[in-house]
Amino acid sequence: MAAEPAKPDVPKRDPVPLALRLTFLPMLLVIILMIGVRMLNAVSIYPPLPMDHTRAPGLAAEREDVTEIHFEADDGVKLYGWVLGSKTASRHIVAFTGNGDYVGSVAGLYTKHAAALDALILLFDYRGYANSEGRPSEAGLYADARGAYRYAITELGWIPSEIILWGRSLGAAPAIKLAVDLLADDRPASLADGRTPHALILEAPFTSIQDMARFAMPILGKPEWLVFEFYDNLARAPKLALPVFHYQGTSDEVIPFGQGERLFAALPGPKEHMTLTGVGHNNIWDDDARAQEIRQRVDAFLGAHE
């Protein structure tokens, strides 16, 4: 039997050096942790709640006081919204809703606002919400706000200096940022023909996401180090040299009442604060008598600064 040919020597692979393994594994764990923290940030700020895509279009088809609109955010993302109210209304409001809201879910509430304040309201879904494209982010919501404002003055013909911005909860942040941009001498190019808004309404606003992290996750020690979205309303508050009406419940379980007080104190004025004793975050409008009182106070404040 012929002898088998000798197999060539195959060099043995050197094992991964211990030092390299000790460096690579911690880096991998840090990357995984950062991805997890970013996902947690997104879920906490923009909760993945079920949203009915058919609700707003279905309601709009049944109503004569609603015009469905489609417009682009400042970065081109396509957004869906309504223009709600009487076309002869004396006031024009751009509304920025909370983090769990969309046009279909708050249609009834803003219908009552429009009637009580004699207002035409531009109401829209943030990117990634219900009938709007994209994914939500801090920069994205600011771009959405600029796009809504642009649509109001260019397509609806609203007079810039007469526009009222109304931000609820999370929506206070894009409303505040838009107001600050419009007040700035070096405003963004897309707002070049804008003007100082007539007024700003803030419903249960927060100071910043870092402060919210400290409130919601104190067990982490320094949770503010782990946030990727900032929404620093408190830093922008001193620049809001326009009339601001602010209200919040003392029993707000989502955003501490103290944050609202700090934000209000930082506003340069003219301003007015309405304390809702014993009221939480999501039940502000549940009581008809209280809702009527809030709208009357807002109406009086706006009237005093017209």
Digit-coded pLDDT (tens) for 12-58: 565 666 665 666 666 655 555 445 545 555 556 888 889 999 999 99
Sequence spans of domains, the chain:
67-304
Question: What are the tokens at 124?
Answer: 């829209």
Give, for all 306 residues of the chain, the pLDDT tens digit: 555 665 566 555 656 666 656 666 666 555 554 455 455 555 568 888 899 999 999 999 999 999 999 999 999 999 999 999 999 999 999 999 999 999 999 999 999 999 999 999 999 999 999 999 999 999 999 999 999 999 999 999 999 999 999 999 999 999 999 999 999 999 999 999 999 999 999 999 999 988 888 766 666 656 555 666 789 999 999 999 999 999 999 999 999 999 999 999 999 989 999 999 999 999 999 999 999 999 999 999 999 998
Q: What is the dihedral of CA 150, 154, 159, 164, to 10 degrees?
A: -30
9 contact partners, CB below 8 Å, separation of at least 6:
none
**pLDDT of the residue at 76:** 98
What pLDDT score was predicted for residue 269? 87
Give the DSSP letter of residue 282. S
Segment 111-153, tens digit of pLDDT: 999 999 999 999 999 999 999 999 999 999 999 999 999 999 9
Give the per-residue pLDDT at 230: 83
Q: Class of 67-304 per CATH?
A: alpha beta
Residue 87 backbone phi and psi in degrees, to 5: -70, -10
Helices (H), 63-127: 103-116
Question: Tell me, what's the pLDDT at 217?
Answer: 64
Find the DSSP H helices in the chain.
Answer: 18-45, 55-62, 103-116, 138-154, 172-183, 209-216, 233-236, 257-266, 288-304
How far is Cα 90 from Cα 164, in angstroms, rounded to an integer? 11
Q: Give dist(CA 157, CA 155) in Å, integer.
A: 6
Helix axes 103-116, 288-304, angle to 10 degrees: 60
Alpha-carbon distance of 53 to 39, in angstroms, equals 24
Record the tokens describing residue 35, joined without a space: 């991805």
Quote the pTM value.
Answer: 0.86
Confidence (pLDDT) at 83: 98
